[in-house]
Amino acid sequence: MPIEILMPALSPTMTHGNLAQWAVAEGDAVTAGDVICEIETDKATMEVEAVDEGVIGKILTPAGTENVAVNSPIALLLEDGEDASALDGYTPSAAPAAPAAPDVAVAPPAAVAPPVAVAPPTASAPPSASAPPTASALPTGRVFASPLARRIAADKGLDLAQVKGSGPHGRIVKRDVEAAQPGPQAAAAPSVTVNDPAFANMPAFTATANTNMRKIIAKRLTQSARDVPHFNLTVDVEIDTLLALRKQLNGYEGATYKISVNDFVVKAVAQALKTVPECNVAYTDEAILQFAQVDIAIAVAIDGGLITPIVKDAASRGMAALSNEVRDLAGRARDGKLKPEEFQGGTFTVSNLGMFGVKGFNSIINPPQGGILSVGAGEQRPVVKDGALSIATVMTLTLAVDHRCIDGSTGAAFIKELKALIENPIVLMV
Amino acid sequence: MAETNFDLIVVGGGPGGYVAAIRAAQLKMKVALVEANHLGGICLNWGCIPTKALLRSSEIYHTMQHAKAYGLSAEGVGFDLDAIVKRSRKVSRQLSGGVGYLLKKNKVTVFDGYGTLNGVGSQGRKLHVEKDAKPIADLTAKNIILATGARARELPGMEADGKLIWDYKKALVADLVPDRLLVIGSGAIGIEFASFFHTLGAKTTVVEMVERIVPAEDAEISALLEKSLTRDGMEILTSAGVKTLKKGKNTVTATLEVGGKIETREFDRVIVATGIVGNVEKIGLEGTKITVDRTHIVTNEWLETGEPGVYAIGDVAGPPWLAHKASHEGVLCVEKIAGTKGLHPINPDRIPGCTYCRPQIASVGLSEAQARDRGLKVKVGRFPFQGNGKAIALGEPEGLIKVLFDAKTGELVGAHMIGAEVTELIQGYGIAMELETTEAELMHTVFAHPTLSEMMHESVLDAFGRVIHF
């Protein structure tokens, strides 16, 4: 009876993944620990090791297959003594790898999750993932280290997985952790050689190898820019009322919050998406998915890239709670301490470059989300009111939407509602 | 004509040499072992083993003298020194024969004679073997291990004569228990003989140059041993020296300097136990790149001498002068020659030491003073035999187990014991050290009750303020 090799779950929340490539071919002998294939998730590419010994009898899921469900068989392993005839009559024990299209007729929108747990493109990898970790299809084996070595490593902030053991059977002992230096050893970027003739006549450069996060940002944003038909809608909103309200709220004695302009924007976006749910959508080839809840992803710059922590069900949050949560998420994002479920998902993204003085800008949509709002700086500008020139604090908002699921008039309805909410912010307080 | 070309020649059949030879044979080397006197070396024939046989007799004698304390009667308890010595020699003979059997079983070719390095030839290093000025063989090998051991240091004017002044060899085959015995030196050898003869009734005086006896041990252990021995009537003179020994007809007059004062005392016999010197003569070191420092061959941590293909292990390669250190070096050296992977030099801080006086002492690792000298902040745990049920039941309420932990890491850096059977307990801590356990694992370990070992647990607990039974 051949052994089924199953699609591993590389993170607790992973439901699907892409089979990037096979490291073995049918007929290859493998032993436990051999790398057999690479699985790509939204966060990283991971190597999968064989758990059993045998010969690869049949590859069921070809390289390049996307959205392979966790625990579906991807290959068959022949045990010692079995030959290819053992494969005859094999029927897969689990559902086919490709997920069925969501049954729009039956499934209520509320039950339709994003077809793949996709991290926002601006935040494709956890900040710490600087090298592809090796994942075993089974729980990874324990690190053998003496109790003393463990304690010294903990004191030094040393990751034992990065230490090579010199004791019996590779056990990590005191001398190993004493010799090792703290900090991820993998952080030393591999040296790269650039042979592209395009750079032949360019000035001297230093080449920094692409981190996994950088590779994924590049890949997914290219994919989005190429495959998603973007269009932009721009409005200027006056925020003097909002600033006054903010001042009043933050000035309240005993306030346990410090609400930012961006917090108002996030809240207003969530509220507007509630009012115009046709913009809280995702496009698939089979159906338009309209989400029952608004989860706002907020772009946060971190070392070496971006990450987008998510405020779940932002529309139902009070301003103070929302503001405090955003502050907490952004802080932990910069410290690299977000849990995967805190930056995966999200139905709509808010990106704010106002603090850099940027007047307005266009963003690239973060698939499979349907839209992203770019927030510029709030600045005093001359405005014409009742035929007379006056001064107001104005902020430029630019919406980018996926035209496959959101049309111009729908987008306009959303941004009109958004403008109305921001200019009458008291409504956000009810 | 016997085979003369080998992969490895080991010179010396003591616990370093014969163990190295057997390990090499296990690793498929063709091995010769050259030994002039007795397989098993000093350890087996004139050291560790026969002294343990003697001390067992004196221990039982002591227990019999105290039979009443156990509710037993033993009238007219006495001893026959000849029979005690005879038993000791028999034990040595039996074990020496055992070594011969082991070497044969492992197909090690044994040459009876003295080996001398004799340059390098086409087939490797050459070794000349002779006995009583007659050539026995000329051997060649790629590698040679020198394991020639050590012998008692002789002080000028105090040379052992085997009659009035004894070295350890003579003391092992003593023909009488002296009425008044002077032991010069309070290291392991001196203190064991002092203990043996004192138990058998000799009025014993121990003279030690430094300020405490068993100076290699933790100072606290030295103090407890001194207290115990003096209470039993032994005289201990520390910071003391023997200026001269003047031999009379059947007595020796010793001029002692104690605390700056000179005094003259008369003894019936003297045992000189003032350390050892390495056997580095007549083994062909002259003209080689092998260096000798204060009678010991200089090696690196892999036991390599200055001469390629020549190694030195055991007592001849320097302290600590312990059989188990020699054996371990023998194995390490041979495995290094064989190219075994994953080897590490011996960590001297993990070599245990045992002394079989009464009460016994045993230790491994750093003394408290050594630990502090290294700048370690230590947590010290102590547990007395008085608090241990098994010790009380055995009628051995005297003793202490002391442990030292690095306060920062929880590493067990030293253990020091005095009391009944501690020589059998110390290995528990030796294993803990080699496995690099911290206090946490030792605390979590379940120790059987009722045992003396429980004190090892309690001592660890005490270091962290958690002792239960005291």
Where residue A334 sits, what CATH number does that domain have? 3.30.559.10
Query: Mean pLDDT over residues B438-465, rounded?
Result: 96
Mean pLDDT across A269-291: 94
Q: pLDDT tens digits, residue range B250-298?
A: 999 999 999 889 999 999 999 999 999 999 999 999 999 999 999 999 9
A198 Cβ partners below 8 Å, 6+ apart?
Answer: none
Q: Which residue in B has a C-alpha nearest to residue A151's C-alpha?
A: B409
Nearest to B436 among A146, A155, A166 (CB): A146
- B264 and B288 co-located in one domain: no
Q: Among all residues of chain B, which has the CA nearest to that of A152?
A: B409
**pLDDT at residue A202 above 90?**
no
Q: Whole domain around residue A191: which residue ranges?
A: 140-199
On the question of pLDDT at A98 being above 80, the answer is no
Identity of residue B451:
T
B219: containing domain: 154-274
User: How high is the pLDDT of residue A192?
Assistant: 64
**Contact map slice: B 236-295 vs A, CB within 8 A:** none
Mean pLDDT of B190-200: 98
Look up residue B348 and give its DSSP letter: G
pLDDT over threshold 90, residue B47:
yes
Looking at this protein, which amino acid is placed at residue B98?
A: G
pLDDT digits over A102-155, tens only?
A: 433 333 333 333 333 333 444 333 433 333 334 333 334 578 999 999 999 988
In a domain, A249, yes or no: yes
pLDDT over 70 for what percent of chain A?
A: 84
Say yes or no to pLDDT of B100 above 70.
yes
- What is the pLDDT, as a whole number, of residue A46? 76
**Do residues B134 and B283 both lie within one domain?**
yes
Co-location of A81 and A172 in the same domain:
no
* Residue that the structure tokens 């230096």 belong to: A181
* Residues A250 and A365 placed together within one structural domain of the fold: yes
Report pLDDT for A183: 54
Q: Is the minimum CB–CB distance between B433 and chain A shorter than 8 Å?
A: no
| CATH number, position A62 | 2.40.50.100
Spatial contact of A20 and A40, defined as CB atoms under 8 Å apart? yes
Mean pLDDT of B369-386: 97
B269, part of any domain? yes
Report the pLDDT value the prediction gives residue A7, as an integer from 0 to 100.
Answer: 85
Q: Are residues B319 and B454 in the same domain?
A: no
Would you say residue A108 lies in a domain?
A: no
- Whether A118 is covered by a domain: the verdict is no
A177 min Cα distance to partner chain B (Å): 12
A373 and A260 in one domain? yes
B346 in a structural domain: no
Portion 119-148 of A in contact with B at CB < 8 A: 146-148
Nearest residue of A to residue B438, measured between CA atoms:
A148
Residue B79 carries which side chain, given as an amino acid letter?
Answer: F
One domain, residues A268 and A169:
no
Query: Is A105 inside any structural domain?
Result: no
Asked whether residue A208 is assigned to any structural domain, the reply reads no
pLDDT at res. A137: 36
Residue B182 sits in the same domain as residue B82: no
Pairwise CB contact (< 8 Å): B344 & A166: yes
pLDDT for residue A103: 38
> Are B146 and B217 part of one and the same domain?
no
Q: Which of B436, B439, B442, B443 to mutate to test the interface with A (most CBs of A within 10 A)?
A: B436
Q: Domain count of chain A?
A: 3
Q: Mean pLDDT score of chain B, rounded to an integer?
A: 96
The answer to whether the complex's ipTM is over 0.85 is no
Euclidean distance between CA atoms B309 and B267, whole angstroms:
50
Are A172 and A291 in a shared domain?
no
Q: Does the residue A35 lie in any domain?
A: yes
Q: Please check whether residue B285 is in contact with residue B117, taking contact to mean a CB–CB distance below 8 angstroms.
A: yes
Q: How far is CA B14 from CA B37, B52, B149, B322, in A?
A: 10, 17, 7, 11
Is B343 within a domain? no
* pLDDT tens-place string over residues B311-353: 999 999 999 999 999 999 999 999 999 999 889 999 999 999 9
Residue B59: pLDDT over 50 = yes
Note whether A173 contacts B436, CB cutoff 8 Å. yes
- Cα–Cα distances (Å) from B107 to A83, B26, B27, B31, in that order, read 47, 10, 12, 8
Per-residue pLDDT, B405: 97
Tens digit of pLDDT for each residue in B154-181?
988 899 999 999 999 999 999 999 999 9
Q: Do B114 and B74 belong together in one domain?
A: yes
Predicted pLDDT at A114: 38
Mean pLDDT of B121-136: 94
In a domain, B326, yes or no: yes
Q: What pLDDT does A184 receive?
A: 46
Q: Phi/psi at A51 (nearest 5 deg)?
A: -100, -30
The DSSP symbol for B108 reads: P
B409 neighbourhood in chain A, CB within 8 Å: 148, 151-152, 155
Beta-bridge partner residues of B242: B256
Domain count, chain B: 3
- At residue B249, does pLDDT exceed 60? yes
Please tell me which residue of chain A has the smallest CA distance to B413. Answer: A148
Q: Inter-chain contact B435–A146, Cβ cutoff 8 Å? A: yes
Q: Does residue A186 belong to any structural domain of this protein?
A: yes
Whether residue A259 is found in the same domain as residue A378: yes
Residue A174 pLDDT grade (very low, low, confident, very high; cuts 50, 70, 90): very high
| Contact in structure between B236 and B271 (CB atoms under 8 Å) | no
Q: Does the distance separating the beta carbons of A151 and B409 come in below 8 Å?
A: yes
CB B318, CB B42: distance < 8 Å: no
The answer, for B301 touching chain A at a CB cutoff of 8 Å, is no
Phi-psi region for residue B309, left (φ > 0), alpha (ψ -120 to 50) or beta?
left
E-state strands within B218-372: 235-237, 240-247, 252-258, 261-267, 269-272, 276-278, 292-293, 296-297, 310-312, 353-355, 361-365
The whole-number pLDDT of residue A255 equals 85
High-pLDDT (> 70) share of chain B, %: 100
Residue B344 lies in a domain: no
CATH number for the domain that contains residue B427: 3.30.390.30
User: How many Cβ contacts (< 8 angstroms) between chains A and B?
Assistant: 29
- What Rg, from alpha-carbon coordinates, does chain A have? 26
> Domain ends where: A68, A100, A132?
A100
Our answer to whether residue A16 is catalytic in this structure is: no
In 3D space, the residue among B421, B425, B430, B411 whose CA is nearest the CA of residue B458 turns out to be B425
Which residue in the set B342, B408, B441 is minimally distant from A147, CB to CB?
B441
Same domain, residue pair A172 and A304: no
Instruction: Using an 8 Å CB-CB cutoff, list chain A residues near B435.
Output: 146-147
For residues B79-85, average pLDDT: 98
- Which of B274, B302, B321 corresponds to the end of one domain? B274
Query: Do residue A299 and residue A373 come from a single domain?
Result: yes
Q: What is the pLDDT of residue A124?
A: 37
The mean per-residue pLDDT over the stretch A55-68 comes to: 86
Higher per-residue pLDDT: A415 or A77: A415
Does residue A163 sit at the B interface (CB-CB below 8 Å)? no
Q: Are residues B332 and B438 in the same domain?
A: no
In A, minimum Cα distance to B412 occurs at A148
Domain annotation covers residue B354: no
Distance (Å, whole) CA B125 – CA B304: 15
Check CB contact of A12 with chain B, cutoff 8 Å.
no
The CATH number covering residue B233 comes to: 3.50.50.60
DSSP H or E run through B402 = strand B399-406
User: B282 and B138 in one domain?
Assistant: yes
Question: What value does the mean pLDDT of chain A take?
Answer: 81
Q: Residues A194, A331: one domain?
A: no
B61 shares its domain with B169: no
Tally of CB atoms within 10 A around A84: 14
Whether residue A195 is found in the same domain as residue A89: no
Contact check, Cβ <8 Å, B409/A147: no
Q: Could you tell me if B444 lies within 8 Å of chain A, comparing CB atoms?
A: no
Q: Do the bridges between strand B114-121 and strand B292-293 make them parallel or antiparallel, or are there none, so unpaired? A: unpaired
Q: What are phi and psi of B293, to 5 degrees?
A: -120, 115
pLDDT score recorded for residue A118: 36
